[in-house]
Amino acid sequence: MNLPDFYGPYVHTSTLQQALSDAVRGKAMNWIGAADTEREYVYVPDAMAMAAELATYDQAYDEHWIIPGAGPLTGR
């Protein structure tokens, strides 16, 4: 199973998580790479709900699944 980078509760090492924490504190966001570089992120509770549902289907086993995020984000 492939997932984009994570963000959400109990996530401490995501590039987006740190930027969101900076923004909430009114600080300049620390964005890794160019501000226009698009990245895909997935909210952990949503991703785990999809992964758990996939696990309930026998036909899902031995397959390659890509769980998408909500769409690309940039530092801008």
Q: What is the pLDDT of residues 5-43, one digit of tens each?
A: 988 888 888 888 888 888 899 998 888 889 898 999 999
- Adjacency order of strands within the sheet including 72-73: 5-7, 39-43, 72-73
Enclosing H/E stretch for 40: strand 39-43
pTM: 0.75
Q: Give the mean model confidence (pLDDT) for residues 47-55.
A: 92
Pairing of strands 39-43, 72-73: antiparallel
Residue with tokens 């740190």: 18
Beta-carbon neighbour count of residue 4 at 10 Å? 19
